[in-house]
């Protein structure tokens, strides 16, 4: 995983607690600048990707609430961080900001206290459901990539310890990076890592600056052996047909991916593995921005003849695959998966 070395740290005054000062000391060569709000940054004269490499923002998360999910987790925890080193062309976090550098929230104690109060208010014992048969599960990485954040801030390891030791709670997050520093921590199966997978050729085009699919596949057994629960996340599923000589039909490429996963995964890891499947949602604003940043990726992301407008659960206007066609493709995806890797259960698909 590439080293993150910001040359400028933007911070709010209330972010410079003990943890905030530790982060300033971790990057002594970086210039510092105080800002009024972590989510309203001054104009920065640098491209989108350079901001992700060169800037770090330190803030205090003031609105802390646990939101119901019911998909990959029971709840979404308050964000430990926001933004990512990667620049995936379909990223829903990026689509809301002109620049989106990594923001670390330094009030980790308050964030974890919020989770503790929330989980202790839930019925116990929990009724088993598709997220977990025993623990209340909290997604800690909806707005960032925890594997990247772990290499920047000690607060992520603190969060891991919190969930490992909590009698009722369990953490989960999806990632497109392999951070082998995390192998030194044994979460005792109380942290579920979900490696995001898609056909390698597609990933090289749209998973900008993330770790290769082959590297993610190679890491699965190692993370399970280190004490993580390891699942996979087929996301986003992009529909395409013989775009050029590089891309076959999406069905052929996914069958090959399933076989790669089958070959890479040890029997004991297969027994505990499940997946989630998320078909692409896109956004017109993001499409227009990508035409300047990564136009080749838009050849497979933007397909108006296959897509329709959709309002997201948080009110945004996005583009998704046409409803009836998507339903048919979801059935086809599950059918292929059952043929190629019947040992991998599908937690949910949408």
Give the chain's mean pLDDT: 93
- The full set of domain ranges for the chain reads 8-349
Class of 8-349 per CATH?
alpha beta
Q: Is the pLDDT of residue 183 over 60?
A: yes
Give the mean model confidence (pLDDT) for residues 16-35. 96
Give the mean model confidence (pLDDT) for residues 200-222. 96
How sure is the predictor about 314, in pLDDT bands with cuts at 50, 70 and 90? low
Question: Coil, helix or strand for 55?
Answer: strand
254 φ, ψ (degrees, to nearest 5): -70, -35
Tens-place pLDDT, residues 273-301: 999 999 999 988 889 888 888 898 998 99
Q: Please tell me the distance from the alpha carbon of residue 168 to that of residue 315, in angstroms, as a whole number.
A: 32
Task: Determine the distance from the C-alpha atom of residue 323 to the mean position of all C-alpha atoms in its chain, rounded to a whole number.
Answer: 25
pTM: 0.95
DSSP 142-173: SSB-HHHHHHH-HHHHHHHHHHHH-SSEEEEE
What pLDDT is attached to residue 277? 98
What pLDDT is attached to residue 315? 56
How sure is the predictor about 334, in pLDDT bands with cuts at 50, 70 and 90? very high
What pLDDT is attached to residue 316? 65
């Amino acid at each position: 995983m590439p080293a993150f070395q910001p040359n400028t740290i933007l911070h709010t005054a209330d972010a410079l607690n003990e943890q905030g000062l530790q982060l300033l000391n971790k990057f002594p060569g970086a210039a510092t600048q105080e800002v009024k709000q972590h989510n309203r940054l001054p104009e920065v004269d640098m491209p989108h990707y350079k901001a992700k490499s060169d800037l770090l923002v330190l803030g205090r998360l003031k609105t802390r609430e646990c939101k119901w999910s019911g998909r990959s987790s029971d709840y979404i925890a308050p964000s430990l961080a926001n933004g990512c080193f990667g620049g995936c062309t379909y990223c829903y976090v990026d689509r809301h900001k002109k620049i989106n550098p990594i923001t670390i929230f330094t009030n980790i104690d308050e964030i974890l206290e919020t989770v503790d109060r929330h989980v202790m208010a839930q019925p116990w014992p929990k009724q088993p459901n598709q997220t977990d048969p025993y623990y209340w599960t909290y997604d800690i990485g909806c707005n960032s990539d925890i594997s990247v954040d772990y290499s920047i801030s000690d607060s992520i390891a603190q969060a891991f310890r919190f969930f490992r030791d909590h009698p009722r709670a369990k953490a989960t997050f999806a990632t497109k990076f392999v951070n082998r520093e995390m192998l030194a921590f044994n979460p005792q199966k109380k942290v579920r890592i979900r490696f995001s997978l898609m056909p390698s050729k597609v990933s090289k085009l749209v998973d900008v600056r993330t770790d290769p699919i082959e590297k993610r596949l190679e890491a699965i057994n190692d993370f399970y052996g280190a004490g993580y629960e390891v699942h996979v996340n087929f996301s986003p599923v992009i529909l395409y047909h013989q775009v050029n000589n590089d891309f076959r039909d999406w069905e052929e490429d996914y069958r090959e991916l399933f076989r790669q996963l089958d070959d890479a995964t040890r029997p004991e890891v297969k027994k505990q593995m499940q997946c989630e499947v998320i078909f692409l949602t896109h956004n017109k604003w993001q499409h227009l921005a990508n035409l300047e940043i990564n136009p080749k990726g838009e050849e497979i992301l933007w397909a108006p003849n296959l897509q329709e407008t959709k309002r997201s659960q948080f009110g945004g206007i996005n583009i998704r695959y046409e409803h009836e066609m998507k339903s048919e493709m979801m059935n086809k995806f599950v059918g292929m998966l059952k043929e190629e890797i019947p040992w991998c259960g599908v937690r949910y698909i949408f």
